[in-house]
Amino acid sequence: MNIEFTSPVDCLCDFTFDFYWQHMGKRLVPSEKIPGQKGTSYTYEELVSSLKKGEDVCIKGNVGKRLGSSLGIDLVFFGGTGKPLKTGSIIVDGDVDTRMGISMVSGSIYVRGQVQQPLGNIIEMASDRSGYRKYCSITGLMHNISDETVLSPNVITKETLCINDGIIRDTIAARLDSDASITVDGNAGMSTGILMKRGTVNVDGDAGMNTGVLMKGGVLTVCDTEEFAGAYMKGGNLVIRGKAKGYVGANMKGGAIYLKGKAMPAQFPLDENDLKFLAKILRISQTQVMMFKKYSI
């Protein structure tokens, strides 16, 4: 599929259609013609359908925000299985605005121009397309580790990915469901670890809003966080080494949050397993571990 735009458009190839279940058509109607096209009349859902069929979507011109959001997820809301899909690639002959590949789990995005930060759940790879930069899903990479090369200064060895480039990313490790380990040398954006099921993610710096939101399993450690850390958690362990702002653990259904400050859910005393877990994951002494509190349902 080939499409050209005279001006940037947001939410192209967005598998959520700008979180349709929240606005129910007030912000975007999937069946409507995408504005700003030159010589074509494709709808938002036609771009998504093309990718789901394994076809490439080639875009000429600059692109707006949230390109390829949740790319590769067969979303339950739209009658899907909730599992990853193999998709075609998105190829952009132009620049891309912020949050490209947010919550993306499979597929590739090629960009000839510049990409604005924050990025989504993506990392740059050695490109197999001349003149284009290639981005793949961090989650997809850790689900299916291949011989593809992650660009320096980032490094991948076996089941461990070290992100060292200082780029701010939202939704790192979204829907991660493997025993992989991801370390971020620096800060992360919003919704780190959203919908994680397995794996370990360690952010050496701070994280944004909604850290660990909707977690189902795995281990996520961060320093300071913004509001709504651990909101709607169903499982897993969220460890906050620094401070957390308001609404920590809002509407928690399960899992555990470990932190030094105050939080909304019920507080539980640390047992022997908790002490061992924190000492191991944080590599600190038992005296330092005793400064943490545990919150759960």
- The CATH code of the domain that includes 290 is 2.160.20.60
Give 142-168 pLDDT, tens digit per residue.
Answer: 998 777 799 999 999 888 999 999 999
> Which residues, in sequence order, are CB contacts of 51 under 8 Å at separation 6+?
13, 57, 71, 87, 88, 90, 107
> Which of 92, 123, 143 is the endpoint of a domain?
143
* Residues 281 and 221 reside in one and the same domain: yes
The pLDDT, as a whole number, for residue 1 is 96
Q: Are 133 and 171 part of one and the same domain?
A: no
The reported pLDDT for the residue numbered 79 is 95
| Amino acid 174: pLDDT | 98
156 and 256 together in one domain? yes
Share of the chain above pLDDT 90, in %: 92
Say if residue 193 is in the same domain as residue 131.
no
pLDDT band at 41 (very low <50, low <70, confident <90, very high): very high
Question: Do both 133 and 170 map to the same domain?
Answer: no
In which residue are the tokens 């620096």 written? 186
Same domain, 135 and 6: yes
Say if residue 80's pLDDT is above 80. yes
Q: Return the pLDDT at 280.
A: 94
- Mean pLDDT for 263-278 is 85
The residue segments making up the domain with residue 126 are 1-143
Domain boundary among 108, 143, 178: 143
Sign of CA dihedral 223, 226, 227, 231: negative
84 and 110 co-located in one domain: yes
Are 12 and 79 in the same domain? yes
Query: What six digits make up the tokens of 223?
Result: 């320093």
Q: Are 179 and 287 contained in the same domain? A: yes
- Range scoring the smallest mean pLDDT among 125-134, 226-235, 258-267: 258-267
Residues 47-77: tens digit of each pLDDT: 999 999 999 999 999 999 999 999 999 999 9
pLDDT interval class at 264 (50, 70, 90): low
Number of domains in the chain: 2
**What average pLDDT does range 224-229 have in this prediction?**
96
Are residue 159 and residue 180 in the same domain, yes or no? yes
> Is the domain of 296 the same as that of 156?
yes
Q: What is the pLDDT of residue 269?
A: 87
Residues 139 and 159 placed together within one structural domain of the fold: no
pLDDT per residue over 184-193, tens digit each? 999 999 999 9
Domain boundary among 143, 177, 212: 143
* Mean per-residue pLDDT of the chain: 95
Give the pLDDT confidence of 271-293 residue by residue, as tens digits. 999 999 999 999 999 889 999 99
